[in-house]
Amino acid sequence: MRSADCVVAGCRELLTCAGGLPKRRAALRDVGLIENGWVAASKGEIVFVGTEEEYRNEVVPDADAVTVDATGLVGLPGFVDAHTHLPFAGDRAREFGLRLQGWTYQQLAERGMGIQTTVKATRAASLDDLLKLSLARLDRMLLTGTTTVEAKSGYGLNLEDEVKQLEVLRDLAALHPVDVVPTFMGAHDVPPEYRDDREGYIALLVDSIVPEVSSRGLAEFFDIFCEPGVFSAPETRRLAEAAKAVGFGLKVHADEFVSQGGAELAAELGAVSAEHLIAVSEQGIARLGASDTAAILLPGVPFFLMLDKRAPARRLIDAGAVVALASDFNPGSSHLSSMPFVLQLGVFTLGLTVEEAVNSCTANAAYAIRRHASVGSLEPGKKMDLVLCDIPGYVSLAYEPARNPVRTVVKNGKVVVADGRKAGAR
Ligand code: NIG
Ligand code: FE
CA 14 – CA 40 distance, rounded (Å): 13
CA 136 – CA 131 distance, rounded (Å): 9
pLDDT of 127 over the 60 cut? yes
Summarize the confidence of residues 47-71 as an average pLDDT.
98
pLDDT of 312 over the 60 cut? yes
pLDDT digits (tens, 9 = 90+) for 31-45: 999 999 999 999 999
pLDDT, the chain, mean = 97
Q: What global pTM score does this model have?
A: 0.98
Whether 256 lines ligand 1, by a CB cut-off of 6 Å, is yes
- What separation in Å is there between the alpha carbon of 227 and the centre of ligand 1? 11
Predicted confidence at residue 126, as pLDDT, reads 98
- What separation in Å is there between the alpha carbon of 72 and the centre of ligand 1? 39
pLDDT of 426 over the 80 cut? no
Please, what sign has the CA dihedral across residues 226, 212, 198, 126?
positive
Atom 3 (ligand 1): residue with closest C-alpha?
Answer: 225
Whether 328 lines ligand 1, by a CB cut-off of 6 Å, is yes
CA 416 – CA 386 distance, rounded (Å): 10
Atom 6 (ligand 1): residue with closest C-alpha?
Answer: 333
Predicted confidence at residue 45, as pLDDT, reads 98
Which mutation among 260, 307, 328 tests ligand 1's pocket best, with the greatest number of atoms within 8 A of CB? Answer: 328
- What separation in Å is there between the alpha carbon of 57 and the centre of ligand 1? 51
pLDDT digits (tens, 9 = 90+) for 356-398: 999 999 999 999 999 999 999 999 999 999 999 999 999 999 9
- What separation in Å is there between the alpha carbon of 333 and the centre of ligand 1? 6
Predicted confidence at residue 12, as pLDDT, reads 98
pLDDT of 92 over the 90 cut? yes
CA 47 – CA 37 distance, rounded (Å): 14
Residue 175: count other Cβ atoms within 10 Å of its Cβ.
Answer: 10
Whether 115 lines ligand 1, by a CB cut-off of 6 Å, is yes
pLDDT category, 425, cuts 50, 70, 90? low
Q: For a pLDDT cut of 90, what percent of the chain falls above it?
A: 99
Closest CA to 73 of 418, 426, 308, 422: 418
pLDDT digits (tens, 9 = 90+) for 141-183: 999 999 999 999 999 999 999 999 999 999 999 999 999 999 9
- What separation in Å is there between the alpha carbon of 419 and the centre of ligand 2? 32
Predicted confidence at residue 424, as pLDDT, reads 76
pLDDT category, 50, cuts 50, 70, 90? very high
Residues forming a β-bridge with 41: 6, 46
Summarize the confidence of residues 240-254 as an average pLDDT.
98
CA 18 – CA 359 distance, rounded (Å): 9
pLDDT category, 26, cuts 50, 70, 90? very high
Whether 81 lines ligand 1, by a CB cut-off of 6 Å, is no
Ligand nearest to the CA of 99: 1
pLDDT category, 61, cuts 50, 70, 90? very high
Please, what sign has the CA dihedral across residues 21, 26, 29, 30?
negative
